[in-house]
């Protein structure tokens, strides 16, 4: 029983995203527990940027993250499978053609 | 998909070295093995802060103090990376802590030995972190994605830990007679526990076979132990210190060092809780957790209050 009370008091889980330098995307680096968003950002600084790995941090409470279902991957990504003409390598062009 | 085809799909991914990710289907035993291994690893990082924490306030210079502090901070970070990897397998942080505090989960036995002198900080960095790196580098390619990613991060940071330890040993071994003696004494005490860190020998390691098949482990305990001994013996020569093993001898035929019999009785005894510091370490962790309760509660209460205030403002 005491464990259940503990579970209830557990600080929520946050997913952490870090921009390693200006001009690059934020990238998921892991997760951590914190009581609120401000604490999550401060903890993320201490846990994930001790060696200047970041210039910007995003945190989002894990429960708000929606994800695709891996068991449906086959049908989910199937539409892209037979459209190789979306890639530039699909086209047969003469070798003497330059800058294209 | 039937359970059978799920399993087949899982095996195919392992064969093709495709990482298993949290929401992918996985056999129950794979999940359990990972939770056991990752949490044991996380607990080791956290408990591993204690023997070194003992010397932060007594470091011989400001430089050494800043370095040791940074190293212990890294270990806290490594524990947190690993706990969050374990949580992706469906176990909560509180459950993980509870398993540590009740003794249900283990941590590396090496941290149940005391740190008696400053030279122990050198020996731990050089040998204990050296052995840990040997173990951890192959784990960067372990089959479970979140564990592998955590290990990449850990390994990047771990290298300075070993180097600072070796530097301490080097300084002492080039110092006064007393300092050199202190370094040798630390090596004498930490050598055997360090090579035990790789775990029981392959013919007595119940989890190795399955872990190798699942590509959780990439090398066996004995393979890694041999690798560690081979490189470390050479490093000891640079220090001019003697490895406390009379049977240590280069074997031309094998291309490896032969080494003396390991006292596995001591190993199992420490695992079972009878090492010199088992009780002290666990007590320290439990006390830290209990003494932190009011901080966790206060932070929760403050977050709650702020949330309410924001809601009122919005209304």
Q: What is the ipTM of this complex?
A: 0.89
Q: Which chain A residue has its CA at the smallest distance from B307's CA? A: A36
**CA of B121 vs chain A CAs: smallest distance (Å):** 22
- Which residues have C-beta within 8 Å of that of residue A44, sequence separation ≥ 6? A14, A16, A18, A32, A57, A59
pLDDT in tens, chain A (100 residues): 333 444 568 999 999 999 999 999 999 999 999 999 999 999 999 999 999 999 999 999 999 999 999 888 889 999 988 999 999 999 999 999 999 8
| pLDDT value for A6 | 45
Six token digits for residue B17: 């070295």
Cα–Cα distance, B190 to B109 (Å, whole number)? 12
* Residues of chain A neighbouring B21 (CB-CB closer than 8 A): 70
For residue B295, which of A83, A29, A61, A9 has the smallest C-alpha distance?
A9
- pLDDT score, position B1: 62
Does B5 touch chain A if contact means CB atoms closer than 8 Å?
Answer: no
Q: Which helix (H) or strand (E) segment is A12 a member of? A: none
Residue B224 CB burial class (10 angstroms; 0-12, 13-18, ≥19): buried
A vs B, Cβ pairs < 8 A, gives: 65
Q: Is the dihedral of CA B300, B304, B309, B314 positive or negative?
A: positive
- Residue among B93, B150, B302 minimizing CB distance to A35: B302
Cross-chain residue pair A47–B74, CB shorter than 8 Å: no
**Residue B58 backbone zone (phi > 0: left; psi -120 to 50: alpha; other: beta):** alpha
Please tell me the distance in Å from A7's CA to the nearest CA on chain B. 6
Contact status of A50 with chain B (Cβ, < 8 Å): yes
Indicate yes or no: CB of A3 within 8 angstroms of CB of B84.
Answer: no
Handedness of CA B59, B63, B65, B69 (dihedral sign): negative
Q: Is B77 in contact with A7 (Cβ distance < 8 A)?
A: no
- Average pLDDT for residues B303-314, to the nearest whole number? 92
Record the pTM.
Answer: 0.92
- Tell me the nearest-neighbour CA distance from A99 into chain B, angstroms: 37
Among candidates B73, B157, B299 on the partner chain, residue whose Cβ is nearest the Cβ of A11: B299
Label the pairing between strands A13-19 and A56-61. Answer: antiparallel
Contact of B198 with B135, CB cutoff 8 Å = yes
For chain A, say whether B296 makes contact (Cβ under 8 Å).
yes
Task: Give residue-wise pLDDT tens across range B186-241.
Answer: 999 999 999 999 999 998 887 888 899 999 999 999 999 999 999 999 999 999 99
Helices (H), B197-252: 208-213, 221-239
Q: What is the DSSP string of B88-157?
A: TTT--HHHHHHHHHTTSS---GGGGS---STHHHHHIIIIIHHHHHHHHHHHTT-SBHHHHHHHHHHHHH
| Strand partners for A31 | A15
Contacts of A9 in chain B (CB under 8 A): 296-297, 300
């Amino acid at each position: 029983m005491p464990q259940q009370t503990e579970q209830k008091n557990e600080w929520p889980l946050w997913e952490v995203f870090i921009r390693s330098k200006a001009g690059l995307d934020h990238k998921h680096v892991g997760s951590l527990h914190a009581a609120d968003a401000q604490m999550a950002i401060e903890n993320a600084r201490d846990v994930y940027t001790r060696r200047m790995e970041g210039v910007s941090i995003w945190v989002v409470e894990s429960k708000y993250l929606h994800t695709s279902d891996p068991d449906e991957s086959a049908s989910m990504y199937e539409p892209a499978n037979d459209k190789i003409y979306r890639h530039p390598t699909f086209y047969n062009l003469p070798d003497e053609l330059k800058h294209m | 998909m039937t359970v059978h085809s799920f399993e087949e799909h899982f095996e195919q991914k392992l064969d093709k070295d495709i990482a298993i990710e949290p929401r992918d289907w996985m056999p129950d035993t794979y999940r359990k093995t990972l939770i056991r291994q990752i949490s044991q690893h996380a607990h080791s990082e956290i408990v591993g802060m204690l023997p070194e924490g003992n010397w932060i306030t007594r470091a011989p210079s400001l430089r050494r103090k800043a370095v040791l502090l940074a190293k212990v901070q890294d270990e806290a970070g490594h524990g947190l990376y690993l706990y969050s990897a374990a949580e992706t397998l469906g176990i909560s942080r509180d459950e993980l802590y509870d398993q540590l505090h009740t003794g249900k989960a283990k941590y590396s036995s090496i941290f149940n030995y005391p740190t008696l002198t400053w030279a122990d900080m050198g020996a731990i960095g050089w040998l204990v972190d050296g052995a840990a790196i040997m173990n951890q580098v192959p784990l960067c390619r372990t089959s479970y994605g979140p564990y592998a990613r955590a290990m990449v991060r850990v390994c990047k940071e771990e290298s300075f830990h070993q180097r600072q330890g070796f530097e301490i040993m080097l300084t002492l071994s080039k110092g006064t007679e007393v300092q050199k003696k202190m370094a040798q004494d630390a090596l004498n005490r930490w050598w055997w526990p360090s090579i035990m860190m790789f775990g029981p020998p392959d013919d007595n390691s119940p989890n190795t076979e399955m872990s190798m098949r699942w590509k959780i482990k990439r090398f066996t305990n004995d393979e890694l132990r041999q690798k560690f001994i081979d490189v470390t013996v050479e490093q000891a020569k640079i220090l001019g210190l003697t490895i406390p093993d009379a049977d240590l001898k280069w074997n031309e035929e094998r291309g490896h060092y032969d080494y003396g019999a390991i006292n596995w009785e001591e190993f199992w005894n420490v695992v079972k809780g009878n090492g010199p510091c088992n009780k002290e370490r666990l007590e320290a962790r439990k006390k830290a957790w209990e003494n932190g309760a009011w901080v966790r509660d206060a932070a929760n209460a403050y977050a709650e209050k702020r949330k309410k205030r924001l809601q009122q403002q919005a209304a």
